[in-house]
Chain A
Amino acid sequence: MWLEFFLFELRFRLKQLSTYIFGAVLFLFGFLIVNIIGGAFSNVSIVVMSGGERLLLNSAVSNSNFMDKISIFLIFIIAAFIGSMLNRDLEYKAHSLLFTKPISKWSYITGRLTANILLITIFNLFLLLGMLIACFMPWVEKDYFMRPEILHYLTPLTHLIIPNTLLISSILLGIFLLTRKSTYLYVSSFFILTVYLIGGSYINNIANRVTASFIDPFGLSALMETTRLWSITELNSNVLPLSGLFLWNRIAWLLFSILLLICCVTKFNLSSIYNNGSRTLRIRKQSESVKITRIIPQLSFGFAARLCQFFSLLRFNLKLIFRSLPVYILTLIGISFMLLIVIQYGTVYNTGRLPITYNVAEALAFSISLLIVVFITLYTGELVWNSRDHNYHHMLDSTPGKNFTFYLSQLFSLLSLLVFLFAVFTIVGIFYQMFKGYNEYELTTYLKILFGLNLPQYIVLTILCLFIHNLVGNKYTGHFVFIAFYLLTPFLQYAGLHHTLLRFNETPVVIYSDMNGLGNNLPGYVWFTIYWSLLALLIAYLTVMLRKRGYSGFNYRKFWSDIRVKHNYLFPLAILLLFLATGGYIFYNTNILNSYLSPKAAERLAVDFELRYSKYADLPQPKITDINIRVDIYPETKDLIYGGVYTLENKTGEPVSSIHVMLPQGVEVTTLAFSDEHILQEKDTTFNYHIYELEEPLFPGGKTELKFELSLLTKGFNLDENQYINRNGTFIHSTYFPSIGYNDRYEINSPRTRRRYNLPEKERFREIDDPAGLARNYVSQDADWVTFEALLSTSARQTALTSGDLITSWSENDRNYFHYRLDGKMINYYAILSAEYEIMKDRWNDIDIEIYYDSKHHYNIADMMRGAKNSLRYLENSFGPYPHTVLRIAEFPRYGSFAQSLPTLIPFSEAIGFIADIRTDKVNYPFAITAHEAAHQWWAHQVIGANVKGALTIVEALAQYSALMIMKREFSSDIFRSQLLYDLTSYLSGRSSESREENPVYLDEGQQYIHYSKGAIAFYGLASYIGEEELNSSFRRFVADKGYQEPPYPTTLELFDYIDVPDSLHYFFEDTFKRITLYENKILEASSQQNSDGSYTLTTRISTKKFYSDGLGNLESGELSDWIEVVVYDQVFAGGRKMKRPIYREYLLFTEEETDLELTLDNEPVFVGIDPEYKLIDMMPYRNIYEIK
């Protein structure tokens, strides 16, 4: 019996054309995606996941990732299969025949279900086959792939795809049996898909990692978690592991699926299920009657009548929409997404943001975007197909209502639905702000972001969806075509369609900023919105013309004859012309007024540049010694007119006559001239590369001046406007000023891309003893320490800022002027800011501290001020005096979300710090970031590393170490510990996505997870082992000796010379800084007993392991003879919270893998920890503290 049902279903499916189409589509999908990522079409190198560029594209982990992401979309096919599997008998009216027969429901359901799951598996096999064959294509990059291993393809199928298919099938089956409506099958499919899509983003939340990977029903997060610490060799060569979290995740969800399935089948009642819910009321009381004097109605068909018809249809359609349950279910789901997202939105160090309006509105827009396509396709389908589904379309079609009226009413009903959604979400957003105790609601910001920046594109999408549904043969094809279109359009750019004009419904992205409002991309956005709206109008016209009415399907002959006979071509022609004209105008702006480069063209240009000019890389050039600039900022027109004088000095040992000057593309040169006699030998306008020949060469020690007059003007609008010169919040860097000599900034870094263009391999940093590297600092090749003076001007209400003391400022001609001069010297890196600022001023000793902030962002400036003061106190005490008399923090718009440190000036993004929600017990990062940036006034602006490996360790690791020590004094030990854990896990996950090779701390090659995360922990550990005072005094001496050091610049090895490490800790220093060492320390068990004298005896078993890793992550065990800290805590209540209080703290020597320890303590121990404060790099940092039961 089971076999019969199984075979019946299989045969049925195999007779359907769609089965073969699905198979073919999946094959193509697999084939295409591997081709795209394998570099067949262009240079898109999508770094798919951890492992970066070194992860081969046909490893088991990559395959899992691709297959999982593609096959999740099969959920719609599963839904269709399940729906039709149970509905079919009903449709063909066979159910009453079938279910009166003595058949087993188990065979009935499981037989059919098995057949369908088998088919889905076969589809996935096609996908797999496509992916496999793509590896062999001659045009893919060979070094992205290894020789295909069949198990690397099959294990993802067996471990992920098949169990997931079973899970989805059981869930959908349950939902169908519960609701008996296929609409809900689709609704829940969308829901599951969305959960899948956003579930991934939650994995970033460290605290949730283990839980999240367990909860993930599809197992990918668990797989990531299990393989997170794998080396790249392991990631490439291993098949999927059946161990750890991943194994448990798979077992749990498989069991869940089976149980759910059993539940469903047990509950399923063959005969009752198809009395499909609709009850015919036996209405007896029909005979009520009225006496009616009949009026003969006046029929009218004019404009007023059509308006009336439109409103009647609108009412009717709105009833269709709002009387159906899914609207409300989906809205509620959307609201819960929104709440999840808004809480997570923009967290830094696990600390959330204040619910300021643009933040909430963007979270709303994002959660709407996940749902809206469901709404659009579902309800467009409902409206278009309702009369057919319920079989009253003939009557409707034979009424004199115009196609246009019908169409317009459908469109407006859908628009009402969209507006309803947006309104509901806005209200929820405001409630959320209220609930969070934030009461500066800005309704206009909601309107701008939601209704201005998001609604228009959904209207265009709705018009497209109406078009598709009116054209296709049935509702489900309509759904499928629309969703396929929606999902596939983003891939167009990989197939060569880069320009936004060619990508349906794409516009420049407008980012709302509290400082700068809608910003520079607004004109582009508006024009593109007009452009797509015109296309939508054309589509709408076609929809009305081609709309099916009666029995005749759409008929092109009739369509053309309508156009000819009724002269209907004027309107579409006019729209078409307008559409093309708008496109032309956009093209004029983006490609003629501004230059447009496809990614491929940009890459070729970079290659050209390198090929043409890299030969000059080692050409001796003079260096800049004095900078004197003048910058006129015109925020209203977004123009910059600027100039200045450089003093250049020949610091080489030979005469220099040829001087190369580079400027960024787009900068226009008015004057560029030397004070000495010279000729312009070459002027390359493509790259803005100029070669000058001095008539008299510049002899060693000789000086010359470079005068320049430049402008950077905004012309029309561009696809992706620069967001540096803004109406409010200009923020430009010294990169807009001339640089001397060849600058390798434009070179391509990706090794894969370089290989494709046959460029030589490029090292990330030079070796630590490379003389050319030691001769310059890592920031600028064309200057050592320079003097700096700047005259800035800006519009009347703005303040312009840069490095140095403000000498004078004045107003003239409705403009503000500011004259800055730095006392002392600095590296050649500065920035210029201009905005309408509020200012907070304070002092520490004789240093002025000023915070320039936007009037809306006053929340955290007190913490930043305290951060600056505490930092200056700690830094001056520890490392020596601050060399300037002022320190400024200045807010800039959120187009970048970082803070940086320039001499005397800390630009700080409005997206971080200023709007952090520090009312929680998380890390106060406005304070923390201020501390880090303040520390850079020593580490970078006094001591800067040579341009060799380890340069950033000196700058970033020491800055973050300083910040940690400042934070340690500010924060509670629990919060401090969570910051350490954050740095530690950043390192651990960073090393697993290393794209080339991990280095030890002292040879860092600009790897953030090393110089920032690991470096900070390493120096903090060192301070703990040898003493903070001791370490800081070494650093103090280092700053005193190497501060403002002219070439050769210092290296990490020179830094280490200053640090005295006792012999007993020599191993620690080597392990931490010169090797890649990882510990795995954990408490296995612990118990305590009260002794008769009132003291406590704690017995615990501790496991300690040490590993050394090579650069690829291969581990080997290390000999253990290490001092590791053991801390015992009790618990106290402070400030309403439970806090751990150390009652025992000792470094103990561990030599064994397992050690039993017995301690006698005065107080009752509650926790015992092995290296609980992360002084060592621990691979498993979650089991270092043990709660004693």
Chain B
Amino acid sequence: MNELRIENLAYTYRNGTRALNGINLTLRNGMFGLLGPNGAGKSTLMRIISTLQDADEGRVVFNDLDVKNNKREIRKQLGYLPQEFDFYPRMTAWEMLDHFAVLKGITNRKERKNVIAYLLDKTNLYGVRHKRLGSYSGGMKQRFGIAQALLGDPRLVIVDEPTAGLDPEERYRFHNLLSEIGENIIIILSTHIVDDVRELCSNMAIIDRGNLLLVDNPHRALSKYEGKIYKRVIEKDELEDYRSSFEVVSSRLYLGKMMIHIFSEEAIDGFQPIPVDLEDIYFLTINNHRTAEVEEEVA
């Protein structure tokens, strides 16, 4: 059983932005979803775990190895896919993957060939393995990036927004791939697509503005709010009124009007109860936290 312990992790950018604000978290085998809006600190957290950045305070320990001081050991067990990436366009997929495979320590030629073929097949790129990466579409590159991250059977896989830019079929394929390998290793998946987490993760966290807001099992989190989310279709200009009288979780345009979700312990007239969705929990957590922060500042 692998264990990743994040202890009191803090990081402040040079311009003063506090990206991480004392994060404590312990992860074990399985997929872990990291949810949060843009700029929440997800990427910073993931870079620190992937040895690419050093935290100001606190530490990350993987299987009793301190990440900061054992970078090379960690890298031997790590698969990392950054949020934004590309590849040298003049290399073919095979060449590039072969290159990465050697760097990851797969030095036996036969084994390497096997691994590369396997991963390219799993990511549905086998047919285009000898095409230059410059000719790949965004989705293909994304899948190729995942193949790269899975090289060398890592025990810790960190994927930053992996499903962005994938079409539904590709996403489905990707989910399968991850869940196939995710049982015996730790996979950290950052995303702002809530469905990814619901479908895949045994555990999840919500993080905003450098703070960890919620750590839970998605199903447990869902059950906590079961029956407490209601929806209603309203006129657009009524939104402010509703906000002042109800705890509005989210609002979105719906057939020219506006659909709002609210949280309530008990049923309210005119509102229809709906099955709770992870997205609601996500918004609720973040909204609550932000309101609390504002109140704190006012006080």
Q: Interface on A for B, CB 8 Å cutoff?
A: 278-283, 285-290, 292-301, 304-305, 308-309, 312-313, 316, 319-320, 323, 386-387, 390-392, 394-402, 549-552
Contacts and interface: CB of A to CB of B under 8 A. Distances in A.
Given A283-B131, A292-B118, A294-B118, A398 B51 contact: yes
Contact of B105 (A286, A301, A386): A301
B292 interface: no
8 contacts: A293-B114, A297-B152, A299-B105, A299-B106, A300-B107, A300-B108, A312-B103, A401-B103
Given A309-B107, A395-B80, 10 more contacts: A283-B135, A286-B128, A299-B105, A299-B152, A305-B105, A316-B95, A320-B90, A396-B100, A400-B72, A549-B52
B78 A398 contact: yes
Given A296-B153, A297-B114, A316-B99, A280 B137 contact: yes
Contacts of B274: none
B85 A392 contact: yes
Contact of B72 (A290, A296, A402): A402
User: Would you list the 8 A-B pairs with minimal beta carbon distance, nearest first?
Assistant: A550-B52, A288-B127, A281-B135, A299-B105, A312-B102, A400-B75, A399-B103, A297-B111
Contact of A552 (B54, B82, B90, B110): B54
Contacts of B110: 295
B225 interface: no
- Scoring B75, B102, B108, B152 by chain A CB atoms within 10 A of each residue's CB, the highest score goes to B102
B102 A308 contact: yes
B50 interface: yes
B123 to A, nearest CB: 10
Nearest to B135: A281
A397 B52 contact: yes
Interface in B82-127: 82, 84-91, 95, 98-100, 102-108, 110-112, 114-115, 117-118, 121, 124-127
Nearest to B160: A394
Interface of B: 47, 50-54, 72, 75-76, 78, 80-82, 84-91, 95, 98-100, 102-108, 110-112, 114-115, 117-118, 121, 124-128, 131, 134-137, 140, 145, 148-149, 152-153
Contacts of B127: 285-289
Contacts of A305: 105, 107
B103 A309 contact: yes
A294 B110 CA distance: 11
A551 B134 CA distance: 25
Contacts of A395: 80-82, 85, 100, 145, 148-149
Contacts of A387: 88
Nearest to B127: A288
Contact of A297 (B90, B115, B121, B124): B115
Contacts of A289: 121, 124, 126-127
B76 A299 contact: yes
A290 B87 contact: no
A552 B102 CA distance: 25
Given A285-B127, A288-B126, A392 B86 contact: yes
A285 B102 CA distance: 28
Contacts of A304: 107
Contacts of B131: 281, 283
B121 A400 contact: no
B85 A391 contact: yes
B115 A295 contact: yes
Contacts of B117: 290, 292
A290 B121 contact: yes
A671 B140 CA distance: 91
Contacts of B102: 308-309, 312-313
A305 B102 CA distance: 8
B184 to A, nearest CB: 12
Contact of B52 (A281, A288, A400, A551): A551
Contacts of A293: 114
B104 A399 contact: yes
Contacts of A297: 106, 108, 111-112, 114-115, 152-153
Nearest to A295: B114
Nearest to A278: B134
- Scoring A305, A323, A390, A399 by chain B CB atoms within 10 A of each residue's CB, the highest score goes to A399
Nearest to B75: A400
Nearest to A291: B121
Contacts of A309: 102-103, 107
Contacts of B115: 294-295, 297
Nearest to A550: B52
B134 to A, nearest CB: 6
Contacts of B112: 297
B99 A295 contact: no
Contacts of A394: 47, 50, 52, 80, 82, 85
A401 B100 CA distance: 10
Nearest to A397: B52
B76 A301 contact: yes
Nearest to B115: A297
Nearest to B111: A297
Given A297-B115, A299-B106, A398 B80 contact: yes
A425 B63 CA distance: 56
Contacts of A280: 135-137
Contacts of A386: 88
Given A304-B107, A312-B103, A550-B53, A294 B85 contact: no
B105 A550 contact: no
A848 B156 CA distance: 93
Given A297-B115, A297-B152, A390 B105 contact: no
A295 B112 CA distance: 9
A309 B134 CA distance: 24
Contacts of B118: 292, 294
B95 to A, nearest CB: 7
B128 A285 contact: yes
Given A295-B115, A309-B107, A392-B86, A550 B51 contact: yes
- Scoring B51, B84, B110 by chain A CB atoms within 10 A of each residue's CB, the highest score goes to B51
- Scoring B80, B107, B134 by chain A CB atoms within 10 A of each residue's CB, the highest score goes to B107
Contacts of A299: 76, 104-106, 152-153
Given A395-B80, A400-B103, A400-B105, A551 B53 contact: yes
- Scoring B50, B103, B149 by chain A CB atoms within 10 A of each residue's CB, the highest score goes to B103
Nearest to A294: B118
Contacts of B52: 394, 397-398, 549-552
A798 to B, nearest CB: 59
A396 B103 contact: yes
A404 B107 CA distance: 18
A558 to B, nearest CB: 8
Contact of A283 (B54, B80, B137): B137
Nearest to A311: B102
A319 B91 contact: yes
Nearest to A281: B135
A418 to B, nearest CB: 22
A382 to B, nearest CB: 10
Nearest to A398: B80
Nearest to B153: A296
Contact of B108 (A282, A298, A396, A401): A298
A279 B85 contact: no
Contact of B75 (A286, A308, A399, A551): A399
A549 B103 CA distance: 15
Contacts of A399: 75, 100, 103-104
B67 to A, nearest CB: 11
Contacts of A313: 99, 102-103
Given A295-B111, A301-B105, A308-B102, A552 B53 contact: yes
B258 to A, nearest CB: 31
Nearest to B145: A395
A900 B106 CA distance: 71
Contacts of A298: 106, 108, 111
A372 B280 CA distance: 63
Nearest to B102: A312
